Amino acid sequence: MGYSSEIYEEAERKLERRRILSEQELDKRRNILFLRSPRAEKIEQTIAKTSVAAAKAVFGGADIKTELEALKRKNLALQNELNEILKSFGFPENYLERWYKCDKCKDTGYIDGKMCDCMKRLLRETAYDSLNRMTPLSLSDFESFSLDYYSKTPVAEGKLSPYTQMNGVLGYCKKYAASFNEESRSLLFQGAPGLGKTHLSLAIAKEVIDKGYGVVYVSAPAILTKIENEHFDIKKTESPAEQIVTECDLLIIDDLGTEFTSRFTVSAVYNIINTRMITSRPTIISTNLTLTELQEKYNSRIVSRIIGMLDRVEFVGVDIRQQKRRRQNSIKRK
């Protein structure tokens, strides 16, 4: 499934909070009950004492069987009395037990060393949250992608209208997300800023995460700076960020080409993409640059390799953010 170690650690912390919370809630419930019924508190203490006595009897030798039977009977009678008290207050029978969020694994996340479904769900949610935190926008989905911003008039004779083209792109992305698996193709989202590349790549990310895959979404400048810092940190022999981006099930690199280019970043970009291609792991790259601009920025060896391996998805139209701003301004003026 391939989540980063940070995601695992965060999920473990969430589980721990659940366990602490269930203990605190039990304490609260006991206090409420004992305030109303001092007898209940007495019974609980006696039951605790009888189990100690039972343990002593086992080690004591003497007539173990009779003694244990007597203790058992006493315990049962006390338990029944306690249940009656709970019932008289209208409390459920398990009132004095811990209420776990997941009864199967008792909020430990594992059953006999195997990961419980609740842990899998938690990992998915955590990956989803971290994705959300990294992006300035709230997580986009396909439903919120509006085709209203794309003109139905073809830009040139014999060409598709932006609306028709983008309708096709939307359909393609939906299909890609729905059928995503380890062998899915890698994609190159290309087009001017503000045409929905980030929105649709996040929509794909969301659906692929929901399917249980480990998805990492990064902006090219942010991840390259991180990798560069880790590489030049003498205390570290390897770069965890680089490992995460090369090993996740789906990597989405947003805004390739907006990073500051140096020999280091060019080779880092090449290494990430190349490693993922060799190990057949799908990657989605989005860029505002044209092919010629990409070739100028990186070297043609990288660009030709990238282009050869990726399916190009072309975004067309007029900057949506500008259109939205214009609409808002005209509303304000009215």
The residues that touch Zn ion, with contacts defined as CB under 5 A, are 102, 104-105, 116, 118
> Looking at beta carbons only, is 102 or 204 nearer to Zn ion?
102
CB atoms inside a 10 Å sphere around CB 125: 15
3-state DSSP assignment of residue 219: strand
3-state DSSP assignment of residue 108: coil
Residue 120: CB minimum distance to Zn ion, A? 9
CA-based diameter of the chain, in Å?
103
As a residue count, the chain comes to: 334
> Looking at beta carbons only, is 102 or 250 nearer to Zn ion?
102
Residue 110: CB minimum distance to Zn ion, A? 8
Contact 215, 209 (CB under 8 A): yes
Task: Give, for 252, the enclosing helix (H) or strand (E).
Answer: strand 250-256
**C-alpha atoms less than 13 angstroms from C-alpha of 110 in its C-beta half-sphere:** 6
**Nearest CA among 22, 216, 3, 203 for reference residue 122:** 3
> Looking at beta carbons only, is 119 or 200 nearer to Zn ion?
119
Strands (E), 165-214: 186-190
CB atoms inside a 10 Å sphere around CB 126: 21
Residue 101: CB minimum distance to Zn ion, A? 8
> Looking at beta carbons only, is 82 or 118 nearer to Zn ion?
118
Residue 102: CB minimum distance to Zn ion, A? 3
Residue 213: CB minimum distance to Zn ion, A? 21
Residue 116: CB minimum distance to Zn ion, A? 3
> Looking at beta carbons only, is 18 or 281 nearer to Zn ion?
18
**C-alpha atoms less than 13 angstroms from C-alpha of 206 in its C-beta half-sphere:** 17
Token representation of residue 98: 């811990």
> Looking at beta carbons only, is 119 or 272 nearer to Zn ion?
119
